[in-house]
Structures are given as C-alpha cells and as structure tokens.
Amino acid sequence: MTSIEFGNRLADLRKGKGYSQDDLAEKLGVSRQAISKWERGEATPDTTNLIALASLYGTSLDSLVFDKPGKNLNEEDTEESQSSVESAQDGKKQEGAKRKKLKKIGGLVTACLALTITAAYVTLGCLFDSVLPDPWVWKIGWIFYLLIPAWSSVFEFVCTKDYKTLMGLTTAVSVFAYMILGMQFGYWHPGWVVFLLIPVTSVVFEALNRGAKK
C-alpha cells in the first residue's frame, strides 16, 4: 500500500465514523494539520497514533496498516487499547512538562551565572587595575565567560542524555586552553592544535549515541 493509498484509507475510515479532521485531532491530541498530512500521504502516524486510530475505528492494527482482513476489536479490546493509548499520551505530556521545567531552571541558573561572572569581572578588574601596572584581570578575566556555554552544555546533556550536546563543553575547553597557551606562554602557533579536539570528540560522541541506542 502506497502512502497515498494509506492516506485515502485513513480518510475513508474517518468519514465512515462521522468524524471531522478537527474531531479526530482532538481525540488523538494532535493538530488538524497532522491529520491532513496523514490523509494526503505526506506523513505517517507514529506507532502510538496508529494504535489509537485502530482503536477508534474498531479494527486491528494489521487491517488498518496493511488493509488485510483481520479480527475487529470488540468493546473490551477497544477500551483496553484506548486505555493504553491514553496512558502513553499522559506519559508523553508528563515528560514534556518535566523537560519544560528543567529548561526554565537551566535558563535561570545560566542567567545567574552570567550576572555573577560579569559582576566579578568588573569588580576585580576595577580593583586590580588601580593596583597593578599590568591590568591582567581585564586581559584574561573574560575567559571565565566560557563557563556559561560549558554549564549549558552539561545541563543539556543531563536533561537529554544526548552526548552531542557536550560539544559546547568541548568547544569552551578548547578555546580556554588555546587562550591560556597563547596569552601566558606565547604558543599561539602550535597552540591551535587544541581545536582538533572538537572534531575528534564529535566522532566519539556520535559513537556513544549509537551505542546508547542499541
């Protein structure tokens, strides 16, 4: 069955039950645009929504997807399937709410960190500028701003468990190492090799992500 044929089948089943696209979207907890894309063959429902559709239309999943004769669901099976779908959707909503809360906390901590670093940078810079002939705080103090992307990267990893989010930390460490090597030891030219850490860790993180999915 092609995607267009499957879309037409979904439309026929919906109309057979007397649902509008808005009605179906409300029952599944998706947008009307998603329903429209399914029925035009531009997208395919995920597993959770396929189970929900089969439950709503009182048919088996095989019959819905492959248009094969199959045992229709009785009332008890339908209620059980619908309950499973609702539980899965509730789980998604709770997970989404948890991530939003964590993002708000992360944003608040990031803002506080930025303000703290700025206050410390300006205060220490002004204090030592009048005491020391070489205003070294102004020269190297800004490096501590690299803590912001480093923190954000680690926090994102804790929330998503996606190793690629640690690239922000890798970049911050590379810049920090390069600036220290250049400003303190004058190793600007050979020091740039530290940036090779970025593509190397990118490959490593990609491999770790693939391993975590197995």
In a domain, 103, yes or no: yes
pLDDT digits (tens, 9 = 90+) for 5-58: 888 889 999 998 899 999 888 888 888 898 999 999 888 888 888 888 888 888
- Flag whether 83 is in a domain: no
CATH number of the domain encompassing residue 57:
1.10.260.40
pTM above threshold 0.75: no
Structure-block tokens of residue 68: 């094969």
Residue 82 inside a domain? The answer is: no
Instruction: Specify whether 154 is located in the same domain as 185.
Output: yes
> Which contacts of 59-62 are long-range, i.e. CB under 8 A and separated by 24 or more positions?
59/13
| Together in a domain, 145 and 120 | yes
Structural domain containing residue 150: 88-213
Residue 182 lies inside a defined structural domain of this protein: yes
Query: Is 118 inside a domain boundary?
Result: yes
* Cα 82 from Cα 87, distance rounded (Å): 9
